[in-house]
Amino acid sequence: MADELLISRTKLVVPQRRKELLSRARLLDLLSDLLDYRLIIIAAPAGYGKTSLLIDFASQFEWPFCWYALDPLDNDLHRFLSHFVMSVRKRFPRFGGEAISILTRSPADQINTEHLISALTNDIYENISEHFVIVLDDYHLIRSNPQIDQFLSDFVQRADETCH
């Protein structure tokens, strides 16, 4: 069923940590401490090392990481949701069956995000018992799409406590 969604799998892979990457212990410790929060936003100008910090964190932290590297094409709600679901499914293969079914059955302009969020949050509750992190790398490239913003707001509020 997952093959029915058009997914760029390279967008869902945590990039390899480069050997020359400078590890910033203070920022890594801060990120670790902040994981008690449901949502963490890392904001800085281009070139300040936001992605490098997250790659370093993912390589050192014991929780599983689900990665989604965004680009301007991800402003499309269906594309965004498909990649979002598959980023979690890549790490947890039993996850996302109902959500994938919803996305493949729904016309791109008629996705019931409320129904999708219920499917996702129930699936996390039923199938993912460990704490995990979803990284939306370069979210700033999503140009204020209100549907995507609302989906994420609702998802963050309703997701199980294991989802960060």
Please determine, for residue 72, whether its predicted confidence score (pLDDT) is greater than 80: yes
Task: Tell me the pLDDT tens digit for each residue of 13-27.
Answer: 999 888 887 889 999
48-62 pLDDT, tens digit each: 989 999 999 999 899
> Tell me, what's the pLDDT at 164?
94
CB 98 within 8 A of CB 116: no
Distance CA 153, CA 147 (A): 10
Q: Is residue 2 part of a domain?
A: no
pLDDT score for 1:
38
95 token code pair: 């996850």
The residues pairing with 133 across neighbouring beta strands, listed in sequence order, are 65
pLDDT in tens, 91-119: 999 999 999 999 999 888 899 999 999 99
Query: What pLDDT shows up at residue 18?
Result: 83
Domain membership of residue 44 as a residue range: 9-158
Count structural domains, the chain: 1
The mean-pLDDT minimum among 27-31, 46-50, 75-79, 150-154 falls in 46-50
In a domain, 39, yes or no: yes
Between CA 72 and CA 106 the distance in angstroms is 23
